Amino acid sequence: MGKFMRDNLKSFFTEHWTYLAVSTACKLNLFDSLQDAKTAKQLAEKLSLNEEKLLLLLNALHNADFLDKKGDYFKVNTLSEFLTDNNPESLKYACLNWSGEHLTAWQNLDFSIKTGKSSFEKIYNKPFFDFLNDNPDKLHAYHKAMYQYAKDDYKILPDVIDFNKHKSVMDVGGGYGAVLENIKTKHPNVECILFDLPKVIDKVTVTNIQKISGSFFDKIPNQTEAIILSRVLHDWNDEKANLILKNCFDALPNNGILYVIENCSDNIKIDLSLLSLNMSAMCESYERTSVQYISLCENAGFQFHNETKLNELQTILIFKK
């Protein structure tokens, strides 16, 4: 038994190698380039890579079941097809998201545990979202990743909530518009408004929605009777979350509705400790309970109305002004 446990530990120590190999393949656009079968030599010539090292990576991906191999030829399979750009259900940027600055922050997690501060901010000398805003390519990659997650996470949102009771809905901090894209498909008569930073709004490709740029830390325009905050508050500490909520309160008319969508740790069976550690390392935040979210919103002036489950992880908390 002791040898079995020790051998499992030895394997566990290097499990991240497989993910980093897959992430590297995404970074180099290998899966996109292997939609037609190629040899290592052909692929190395196409992408200007070292053939010997590329072959090692291709064999590793094949052994991890991310590539099919026939003779000397490699080709994407049903798994790695989800890591190509042109797949409508692509998770390529979601894969890339965790192997960059997130990984660096995790490698310095001991700083966060010792101090309660963000290890990311210590390393990069600025908060995570300021860093993204100063690096357009990273900002774009981040929001593409969040869009890919959101397309799945919020797929049934328009079935759970009848948005037809609103003339308009604004997604505040809504990134590239996945939430509103789902709502507009189900409820085409509802005016959908996306509010996010100018550098984000400029890259949004979703059609049939109104796009307004600004910061939710400043003023949110008074142009809607309902606001959605989908996985926004968990990115911020209580002080910043309170400011966002105050601005949402000011933006809504009397009897306006606020929908807060979050992973409420008291409403699910899955332990969120690792996710909270990630939020601590990146943003000095954490995954809250529904009680904590309700308290934040009530402190901003909202009245709690009810809550409903969205999926295995997420709860929709509904408030009224």
Pairing of strands 303-309, 38-39: unpaired
Which entry of 143, 166, 187, 234 is annotated as an active-site residue?
Answer: 234
Q: Please name the helix (run of DSSP H) or strand (run of DSSP E) that holds residue 114, with its range, or none.
A: helix 109-115
Round to whole Å and give the CA distance between 146 and 298. Answer: 28
Round to whole Å and give the CA distance between 57 and 29. Answer: 13
Asked whether the beta carbons of 47 and 57 are under 8 A apart, the reply is no
Phi, psi of 241 (to 5 degrees): -60, -40
Under DSSP, the state recorded for 284 is S
Sign of the Cα pseudo-torsion (35, 37, 40, 42, in order): negative
CA angle 7, 13, 18 (to 5 degrees): 110
Q: In the annotation, is 143 catalytic?
A: no
Task: Give catalytic residue positions.
Answer: 234
